[in-house]
Amino acid sequence: VRRDHHPFWAERALDELNQAWARHFLFPQFDTIGAGARFLGPNFVEIQGPNVRVADHLHVFATRQNPVSICVDPYDGGVGHVNIGSYCVLSPGVRMRSAIGIDIGDNCMLAEGTYVTDADWHDAYHRIYPGKRKPIRLRDNVWIGDGVTICKGVTIGENSIIGACSVVTKDIPDNTIAAGNPAKPVGELDGDAAFSKREHLFAGGRPYQEYKDEYDRGRLQGNTLLGWARSRLWPTRKL
Ligand SMILES: CC(C)(COP(=O)(O)OP(=O)(O)OC[C@H]1O[C@@H](n2cnc3c(N)ncnc32)[C@H](O)[C@@H]1OP(=O)(O)O)[C@@H](O)C(=O)NCCC(=O)NCCS
Q: Give the residue whose CA is nearest to atom 7 of ligand 1.
A: 124
The CA 120 to ligand 1 mean position distance, Å, reads: 8
User: How crowded is residue 84: how many other Cβ atoms within 10 Å of its Cβ?
Assistant: 26
The CA 171 to ligand 1 mean position distance, Å, reads: 13
> The dihedral of CA 17, 47, 111, 199: what is its sign?
positive
Q: Is 126 labeled as catalytic in the residue annotation?
A: yes
The span from the CA of 91 to the CA of 179, in Å, is 19
| pLDDT score recorded for residue 90 | 98
Query: How far is the CA of 236 from the CAs of 1, 171, 219, in angstroms?
Result: 10, 51, 19
| pLDDT score recorded for residue 76 | 74
Nearest of 94, 103, 97 to residue 75 by alpha carbon: 97
| pLDDT score recorded for residue 197 | 93
What amino acid occupies position 105? G
For the chain, list residues with pLDDT below 50.
none
Q: Could you tell me if 118 and 99 are in contact, meaning their C-beta atoms sit under 8 angstroms apart?
A: yes
Q: Give the residue whose CA is nearest to atom 3 of ligand 1.
A: 120
Close Cβ partners of 133 (under 8 Å, ≥ 6 residues apart): 99, 100, 118, 119, 120, 152
Query: How far is the CA of 198 from the CAs of 57, 89, 148, in angstroms?
Result: 9, 9, 21
Asked whether 167 lines ligand 1 (CB < 6 A), one says yes
| pLDDT score recorded for residue 238 | 79
| pLDDT score recorded for residue 91 | 98
Asked whether 169 lines ligand 1 (CB < 6 A), one says yes
Phi, psi (5° rounding) for residue 166? -75, 160
Q: Could you tell me if 178 and 150 are in contact, meaning their C-beta atoms sit under 8 angstroms apart?
A: no
| pLDDT score recorded for residue 99 | 94
| pLDDT score recorded for residue 79 | 84
Q: At what angle do helices 208-219 and 8-21 cross, to 10 degrees?
A: 140
Asked whether 171 lines ligand 1 (CB < 6 A), one says no
| pLDDT score recorded for residue 203 | 82
| pLDDT score recorded for residue 69 | 98
